[in-house]
Structure 1
Amino acid sequence: MPATPRTLRTCALALAGLGLSASTLTALPAAAADGDSASVTTTATKTTAKRTAARRVSARVLNARDIAMRQRGDAYAYGAAGPNRFDCSGLIRYSYSRAGFDVPRTSRAQAGHTRRVAKKDMRAGDLMFFHGSGGVYHAAIFLRWSKGHAVMLHSPGSGQRVRVAVPWTSQWFGGTLRRR
């Protein structure tokens, strides 16, 4: 049975209450477009809930990045995870844990914990994992692209301090804690 103007108006009001537009109807399954307002509302609610959850995770990732940025200038110390001394993976563990993520301690374990993401799809707060013949040996926080180069925050090594830099090699891959 085709949707009546009253049913369409009810659906439109339900969508507006969820912060969605009528164009959302075109993205809904065909069964929902047959006038079943309960299906439309349920589908719209699920879509809105997923978007809201993704925004929350993205906000937490950016919060972790900001926490890490406040550590600039702190000294490197092998095996240290803050609050005033860090190794590369300790900086990530400290920052992301404070933002509410359960992140492993070592760079190798962190690489296995994240979802891989193509370099071209990297977003601020994603992680960079440097690798060689022995596997992952260093981790950093991706900040942005600048003139074709990645810009990262990391704790480089003995005698150095947490700083913003560009990678010294192209032998790295991206990982994210964001959902798909």
Structure 2
Amino acid sequence: MNMAAQQWRTLHGLRIDDILHTIKDLVEEGFAVHIGTDAQKATRHTNFVVVACLLSPLRRGHRVFYASIRQGRMSIQQKLFQEAWLSTEFALKLCEVGSVESHERIHVHIDVNPKAIHKSSQYLQQLAGMVAGQGFPVLYKPDAWAASRAADHAVKGKHWKSVEGRG
């Protein structure tokens, strides 16, 4: 699935017509790119949200963009691999079109906990290897804030609640 072709928005709901160009402009200003994906199961499907978080050089400002897709129900293993692949695929697209000039400038966050008490821990090495094998630095919990915080926030619709509360 080409995430770059999906409809991207800010957390305030503003449409981003060309996410690749938007990110390229911010990277040229010195912003760092962090990509993460989270999913939430519904009755008959799974909702995935990919976020692109851009941090200013001094980490005093940031921009968060997201796109969502819906797929059929799946196991935890399928869900985790799909989350990691959607993030990796979008990172590859950013490099392919020149939005970011090198793989090392994009950090891919995976929503996996290394602690053995969590089901996701058994997939950590495979998922980290998949992302790193494409040339990207990979972060996992507790450092994977783009996946475990930003994407989680968007997939659960919390961004709409915070926007509505400001009015």
Q: Which interval holds the TM-score relative to the shorter structure?
A: under 0.3
Normalising by structure 1, what TM-score? Answer: 0.23
Structure number with higher strand proportion: 2
Which one has the largest radius of gyration? 1
